[in-house]
Amino acid sequence: MVRQNIKVAVDAVVFGYKDKALNVLLIKRNIDPFKDSWALPGGLVLENESLEQAVVRELKEETNVTIDYLEQLYSFGDPDRDPRNRVVSVTYFALVKPEHHAIKADTDAQDVAWFDVTELPDLAFDHIQILETAKKRLQNKLTYEPVGFDLLADKFLFSDLEKLYMTILQKVIDRRNFRKKILSFGILEELDEKISEGRGRPANLFKFNKKQYFKLKEEGFLFDIK
Amino acid sequence: MVRQNIKVAVDAVVFGYKDKALNVLLIKRNIDPFKDSWALPGGLVLENESLEQAVVRELKEETNVTIDYLEQLYSFGDPDRDPRNRVVSVTYFALVKPEHHAIKADTDAQDVAWFDVTELPDLAFDHIQILETAKKRLQNKLTYEPVGFDLLADKFLFSDLEKLYMTILQKVIDRRNFRKKILSFGILEELDEKISEGRGRPANLFKFNKKQYFKLKEEGFLFDIK
DNA sequence: GCAAAAGTGTTACTCATACACCCATGA
DNA sequence: TCATGGGTGTATGAGTAACACTTTTGC
């Protein structure tokens, strides 16, 4: 058998919705290659942990962030994607709620920060390509799974949800039709709380009813937003 | 840096539509572990080839099959999925047309065969799990991309397409509505050829117009079959 | 002439889309 | 009282779903 010397890493694209914009979590590398460049959080998988455990560990070590949604994205394995060794990276797609946005640089990173995806710095390795893949995944997922709620606070305004969809899908959505449709699914709870953000009529708070969603899903219900 | 000793492999789930049933290509292993078990074709990635090149090479070596459609499926990396070493497998999803069904066992396999997915033998490693993942991917893909045509011969009958959809999606489809909808897409060419399969009225042959499909796709057309 | 598969059209209903005015609050 | 954002209903058209009979061939 050929002696193979390929390393396996994991990298994560962590999205957060912040200041009405889609943000992504990046770290500033403090080791070569690409020392001082911004990059996706990630690192080599340890001998006895699963891929998912590796992502969770790296995210904790490098950024201290708490993940609300995690799924595998894609594996990148071009022979020369890392200038030193051959590294195959299994990448993950993650979403965090605003209440979990608190981050801090730790062991392997000299800095951690949220970046608006429309104003990104140059990224290390092929990470820009990974990020593009993740953005497409998010756009798709938004239309057939209620992942938007993993980007919003537990209690949110309808207008937040609407803006989130418009920001990520990059198109205008009719307010009335959107509300009608989402409410018709019966997976939101209207709370008895209103909040007033500066001027304008105070808005009702809503809560995503996860239990109800999974119940309906069992019964064949399909979340679907164009 | 921790010395990591994880191997990277690729495995492929190759689907073919055969005798009005969905079939998958398996090889009989002639080395341990799981010697003499049936398994997905695949193997370790070489130092200087991409993941995709590795799949194509392994498929050629082990089965001699010609692939008509290939895309990455998922990466499986549980620490104990291989009883000997730690192996992360990047799996691929492939479709072959009937005219490319000719197969033959070669270097690493003692045998190669098509199996109806509803009548599978026990599989090596976690390959049954990989296969389940691929089946779901196929079911999904069938509804939003015209991959069905990569499973049919270049010239096919409408009833073949219909049966393919019913077989894979596991549900009955109204013949009239299905035909109306597919034809309305304008991505099929009706040929001036009829063939008669045993009894019954001879049926028209159709051809998938790939060029037209890509043109329409550019313009925003979405293939969509419920 | 009968069995078998191919081919075809209409209707009802559901769902998506387009669209504009009033309401509650803070300044 | 005005500016700001929140909340709501209706009418039209498109697309989906349900449904059965006629045609062409082989035996």
Asked if residue B115 and residue B19 are part of one domain, the reply reads yes
- Is the pLDDT score of A121 beyond 70? yes
- Is the pLDDT score of A129 beyond 60? yes
Strand D proximal to A202 Cβ, under 7 A: yes
| φ, ψ for residue A122, nearest 5 deg | -65, 140
End position of a domain, from candidates B92, B126, B141:
B141
pLDDT above 70 covers a percentage of chain B that reads 99
| Residue B223 placed within a domain | no
Asked if residue A169 and residue A129 are part of one domain, the reply reads no
End position of a domain, from candidates A141, A167, A197:
A141
| This prediction's pTM | 0.96
Asked if residue A56 and residue A114 are part of one domain, the reply reads yes
CB contact under 8 A, B47 and A5: yes
Report, as an integer, the average pLDDT of A128-136: 98
Asked if residue A167 and residue A122 are part of one domain, the reply reads no
Asked if residue A180 and residue A69 are part of one domain, the reply reads no
pLDDT score at A2? 58
Report, as an integer, the average pLDDT of B30-59: 96
| 3-state class (DSSP) for residue B151 | coil
Distance from CA of B125 to the nearest CA of A (A): 16
pLDDT score at A1? 53
Chain-centroid distance of CA B152 in Å reads 11
Q: Which residue segment(s) compose the domain that A203 sits in?
A: 147-218
Asked if residue A195 and residue A99 are part of one domain, the reply reads no
Condensed to tens digits (0 to 9), the pLDDT of residues B137-186 reads 999 999 999 999 999 999 999 999 999 999 999 999 999 999 999 999 99
| Residue A223 placed within a domain | no
Q: How is residue A116 written in tokens?
A: 């608006």
Strand D proximal to A188 Cβ, under 7 A: no
Report, as an integer, the average pLDDT of B211-218: 96
Q: Is residue A74 very low, low, confident or very high in pLDDT (cuts 50, 70, 90)?
A: very high
Under DSSP, the state recorded for A48 is: T
Strand D proximal to B176 Cβ, under 7 A: yes
Asked if residue B63 and residue B84 are part of one domain, the reply reads yes
- The CATH number assigned to the domain holding A52 equals 3.90.79.10
Domain count, chain B: 2
Within 10 Å of residue B5's Cβ, how many Cβ atoms?
12
| Residue A27 placed within a domain | yes
| Residue A224 placed within a domain | no
Question: Cα torsion for A85, A87, A93, A97, to the nearest 10°?
Answer: -40
Strand D proximal to A20 Cβ, under 7 A: no
pLDDT score at B199? 84
| Residue A195 placed within a domain | yes
Strand C proximal to A193 Cβ, under 7 A: no
> Nearest residue to D4 (CA, C1')?
A200
Q: Is A222 on the interface with B (CB under 8 A)?
A: no
Asked if residue B132 and residue B43 are part of one domain, the reply reads yes
Asked if residue A113 and residue A35 are part of one domain, the reply reads yes
Report, as an integer, the average pLDDT of B125-145: 98
d(CA B219, CA A179) in angstroms, rounded, equals 29
Q: Which nucleotides of C are covered by protein (CB under 7 A)?
A: 3-10, 16-20, 23-27
Nearest by CB to B74, from A47, A72, A77: name it.
A72
Task: Report the interhelical angle of B158-169 vs B175-185 (nearest 10°).
Answer: 110
- Is the pLDDT score of B1 beyond 60? no
Q: What is the mean pLDDT of chain B?
A: 96
Nearest by CB to B72, from A8, A50, A74: name it.
A74
CB contact under 8 A, B50 and A2: no
Q: How is residue B190 written in tokens?
A: 């009706």
| Residue A225 placed within a domain | no
Asked if residue A154 and residue A58 are part of one domain, the reply reads no
pLDDT above 70 covers a percentage of chain A that reads 99
Distance from CA of A152 to the nearest CA of B (A): 28
Q: What is the mean pLDDT of chain A?
A: 96
Q: Output the CA angle B150-B154-B156, nearest 5 degrees.
A: 100
| Residue B60 placed within a domain | yes
- Is the pLDDT score of B201 beyond 70? yes
Interface of B with A in 28-57 (CB under 8 A): 44-51
End position of a domain, from candidates A141, A159, A177:
A141
CB contact under 8 A, A8 and B5: no
- Radius of gyration from C-alpha coordinates of chain A: 19
Task: Report the interhelical angle of B127-144 vs B158-169 (nearest 10°).
Answer: 130
**What are the Cα distances from residue A47, in Å, to A32, A113, B20, B45, B108?**
23, 29, 45, 19, 27
Distance from CA of A107 to the nearest CA of B (A): 13
pLDDT score at B2? 59
Asked if residue A213 and residue A128 are part of one domain, the reply reads no
Q: Is B21 on the interface with A (CB under 8 A)?
A: no
Asked if residue B99 and residue B15 are part of one domain, the reply reads yes
